[in-house]
């Protein structure tokens, strides 16, 4: 239920950050102004007794997010790839959230496998190891198939994970509603729609049949991509709560010392991981949307291996073209064209000044060029971009949230391998190739062919469709139907709302 009872959950979030010492760590990492620090500490301190203790053996931030649950852990995973935003020390602490969380008992995992696949683990596998990796939603066991002897990774969902995520998302919805109510200016960011998008992604991640399907489609799209490989899905050993794939043998992409010891070129890897993501997003419109270091390895051959396909992103062809033109405009420093693309796509209201918007974009893009990439403050850049979007009335594009978030994560991965990487220089050949193939004369002819094909299918029905549309348009609109709530229903709802508020207040003050 999305009601006032969620106040307790949100208060407990702040209380946990304060109780574990994570509040001060986060404020220091984000270089928060004194007023913000003081306000947050003042609001959280009286309720710190409500906060979770967490595992005292963990660093403060990791301890707090782990105690708060899977949705908060997901947030920490994203921050762990951005040392330029949160500092190297905090990013290192948060990296354990990717695949080093406390596992659940192997007996529970075996029971889940038997329940899902209909056979005891001993009949399916020659051996079944203790957990080798544990993340926010599932854990992985290394096993050997009976008969063939192939090594596989068996992914098993955590017990009760669906209910835990539902509780967190419920509180997020309540927070979004409160933000919209208390800050009308924030409505342009559509926080409720953002949470709805997040909910859809997470609910899909909790069904491993969908992840198996995603892995299969992704493998078909990327077959032939140089320097990239994926493990194979074992469909007969996969179900809703269990997924079996070939074992990915390699060095974790987040272990720079191991990569160096194995003789891998980190500069080449940093460029490849960024270019692979852009190729998948622009060429296929289907990309791995959780590409942090915990989901990437480097094989002995030097190939990048990706796994964990619970979160995949999809963007339609038109949006891909818009995204490519925006990137290409920044690369070419053609800010007027970037501004025009925003207006043409409807990202900026038509009543705004395109020249003024272009000048604002120039202020965002120019610091990138002619400067050592390690000196660019992505925090300052993102802060200024937010100011620009607010000033020009841009709304949050929910269909691009996953793409934008993944771009941030992939950039963080690339920078962790090579702090001097020039993001724009590396992206240029991929974007130029897409522009050449999809925005030139050949592309126009393909689009015309597709349009003619559609017209040929519906051509005989077009006259009737147009005539019906004109008739509907000329008909007078039906008078609106006024609906009134019965008095008893109104007072019942008001009573339940007041009761929920009183219960929350009593819990907070008890």
- Residue 30's pLDDT is what? 61
- Residue 448's pLDDT is what? 66
- Asked if residues 112 and 129 have their Cβ atoms less than 8 Å apart, the reply is no
Q: Is the pLDDT of residue 40 over 90?
A: no
Sign of CA dihedral 61, 66, 72, 77: positive
- Asked if residues 124 and 117 have their Cβ atoms less than 8 Å apart, the reply is yes
More confident residue, 5 or 155: 155
- Residue 152's pLDDT is what? 96
More confident residue, 346 or 213: 213
- Residue 508's pLDDT is what? 37
The per-residue pLDDT of the chain, averaged, comes to 79
Cα gap 197→240, rounded to integer Å? 21
Cα gap 58→64, rounded to integer Å? 9
Q: Which residues are catalytic?
A: 290
Cα gap 64→71, rounded to integer Å? 12
Give the pLDDT mean for 216-220: 95
- Residue 489's pLDDT is what? 38
Q: Is the pLDDT of residue 252 over 80?
A: yes
Q: Are strands 304-306 and 228-229 parallel, antiparallel or unpaired?
A: parallel
Give the pLDDT mean for 427-433: 87
Highest mean pLDDT of the ranges 74-88, 96-110, 145-159: 145-159
Q: Is the pLDDT of residue 213 over 60?
A: yes
The tokens for 52 are 């979770």
Give the pLDDT mean for 224-240: 94
**Range in 32-46, 377-391, 450-464, 479-493 the model is least confident about:** 479-493
CA 278 to chain centre: 16
Q: Which long-range contacts (CB under 8 A, 24 or more apart) does 240-243 make?
A: 240/116, 240/207, 240/208, 240/209, 241/112, 241/115, 241/116, 241/156, 241/157, 241/208, 242/112, 242/113, 242/116, 242/117, 242/154, 242/155, 242/156, 242/157, 242/208, 243/154, 243/155, 243/208, 243/211, 243/212
More confident residue, 197 or 151: 151
The tokens for 267 are 């500069």
In sequence order, the 6+-apart residues with CB closer than 8 A to the CB of 465 are 458
Q: What confidence category does residue 230 fall into, taking pLDDT thresholds of 50, 70 and 90?
A: very high
Q: What confidence category does residue 488 fall into, taking pLDDT thresholds of 50, 70 and 90?
A: very low
**Type and span of the H or E element at 275:** helix 266-279
Q: Is the pLDDT of residue 365 over 70?
A: yes
Q: Is the pLDDT of residue 238 over 60?
A: yes
Q: What confidence category does residue 82 fall into, taking pLDDT thresholds of 50, 70 and 90?
A: low
**Type and span of the H or E element at 276:** helix 266-279
- Asked if residues 403 and 315 have their Cβ atoms less than 8 Å apart, the reply is yes
pTM for the complete prediction?
A: 0.69
- Asked if residues 152 and 146 have their Cβ atoms less than 8 Å apart, the reply is no
- Asked if residues 10 and 175 have their Cβ atoms less than 8 Å apart, the reply is yes
Instruction: Assign 3-class secondary structure to 200-212.
Output: HHHHHHCCHHHHH
**Type and span of the H or E element at 480:** none
Q: How many other CB atoms sit within 10 Å of the CB of residue 134?
A: 16
- 186 phi and psi, to 5 degrees? -75, -10
Measured CA distances, 61 to 7, 26, 79, 167, 337 (Å): 22, 7, 11, 21, 43
Q: How many other CB atoms sit within 10 Å of the CB of residue 234?
A: 17
Give the pLDDT mean for 150-177: 86
More confident residue, 145 or 468: 145
The tokens for 189 are 């960011």
Q: What confidence category does residue 83 fall into, taking pLDDT thresholds of 50, 70 and 90?
A: low
More confident residue, 137 or 4: 137
Q: Is the pLDDT of residue 415 over 60?
A: yes
More confident residue, 409 or 473: 409
Cα gap 243→277, rounded to integer Å? 24
Q: To the nearest whole percent, how much of the chain has pLDDT over 70?
A: 74
Q: Is the pLDDT of residue 482 over 70?
A: no
Give the pLDDT mean for 207-231: 94
Give the pLDDT mean for 79-84: 64
Highest mean pLDDT of the ranges 66-80, 118-132, 384-398, 418-432: 118-132
Cα gap 442→113, rounded to integer Å? 51
- Residue 376's pLDDT is what? 57
The tokens for 1 are 């239920």
Instruction: Assign 3-class secondary structure to 408-453.
Output: HHHHHHHHHHCCCCCHHHHHHHHHHHHHHHHCCHHHHHHHHHHHHH
Cα gap 436→39, rounded to integer Å? 52
- Residue 235's pLDDT is what? 95
């Amino acid at each position: 239920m999305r009601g006032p009872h969620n106040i307790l959950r949100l208060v407990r979030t702040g209380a946990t950050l304060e109780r574990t010492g994570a509040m001060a760590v986060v404020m220091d990492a984000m270089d928060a102004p004194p007023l913000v620090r003081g306000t947050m500490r003042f609001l959280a301190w009286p309720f710190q007794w409500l906060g979770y203790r967490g595992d005292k053996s963990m660093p403060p931030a990791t301890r707090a997010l782990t105690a708060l649950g899977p949705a908060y852990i997901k947030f920490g995973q994203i921050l762990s790839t951005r040392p330029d935003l949160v500092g190297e020390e905090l990013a290192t602490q948060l990296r354990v959230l990717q695949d080093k969380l406390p596992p659940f008992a192997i007996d529970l995992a075996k029971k889940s496998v038997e329940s899902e696949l209909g056979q005891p683990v001993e009949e399916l596998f020659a051996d079944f190891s203790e957990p080798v990796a544990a993340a926010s939603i599932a854990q992985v066991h290394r096993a050997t198939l009976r008969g063939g002897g192939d090594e596989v990774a068996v992914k098993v969902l955590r017990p009760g994970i669906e209910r835990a995520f539902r509780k967190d998302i419920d509180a997020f919805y309540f927070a979004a509603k409160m933000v919209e109510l208390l800050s009308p200016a924030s409505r342009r960011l559509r926080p409720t729609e953002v949470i709805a998008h997040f909910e859809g992604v997470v609910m899909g991640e909790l069904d491993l049949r969908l992840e198996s399907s995603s892995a299969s489609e992704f493998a078909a799209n990327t077959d032939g991509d140089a320097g990239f490989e994926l493990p194979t899905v074992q469909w007969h050993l996969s179900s809703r709560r269990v997924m079996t794939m070939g074992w990915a043998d390699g060095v974790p992409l987040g272990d720079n010392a191991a990569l160096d010891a194995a003789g891998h070129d980190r500069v080449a890897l940093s460029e490849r991981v960024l270019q692979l993501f852009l190729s998948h997003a622009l060429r296929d419109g289907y990309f791995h949307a959780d590409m942090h270091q915990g989901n990437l390895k480097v094989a002995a051959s030097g190939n990048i291996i990706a796994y964990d396909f619970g979160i995949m992103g999809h963007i339609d062809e038109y949006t891909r073209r818009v995204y490519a033109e925006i990137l290409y405009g920044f690369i070419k420093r053609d800010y007027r064209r970037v501004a025009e693309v925003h207006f043409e796509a409807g990202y900026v209201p038509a009543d705004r000044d395109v020249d003024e918007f272009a000048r604002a974009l120039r202020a965002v893009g120019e610091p990138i060029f002619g400067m050592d990439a390690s000196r660019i403050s992505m925090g300052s850049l993102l802060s200024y971009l937010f100011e620009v979007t607010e000033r020009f009335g841009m709304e949050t594009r929910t269909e691009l949230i996953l793409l934008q978030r993944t771009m941030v994560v992939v950039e963080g991965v690339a920078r962790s391998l090579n702090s001097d990487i020039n993001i724009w220089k590396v992206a240029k050949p991929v974007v130029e190739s897409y522009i050449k193939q999809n925005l030139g004369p050949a592309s126009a002819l393909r689009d015309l062919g597709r349009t003619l094909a559609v017209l040929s299918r519906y051509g005989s029905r077009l006259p009737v469709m147009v005539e019906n549309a004109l008739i509907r348009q000329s008909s007078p609109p039906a008078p609106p139907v006024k609906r009134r709530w019965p008095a008893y229903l109104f007072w019942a709802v008001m009573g339940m709302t007041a009761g929920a508020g009183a219960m929350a207040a009593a819990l907070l003050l008890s």
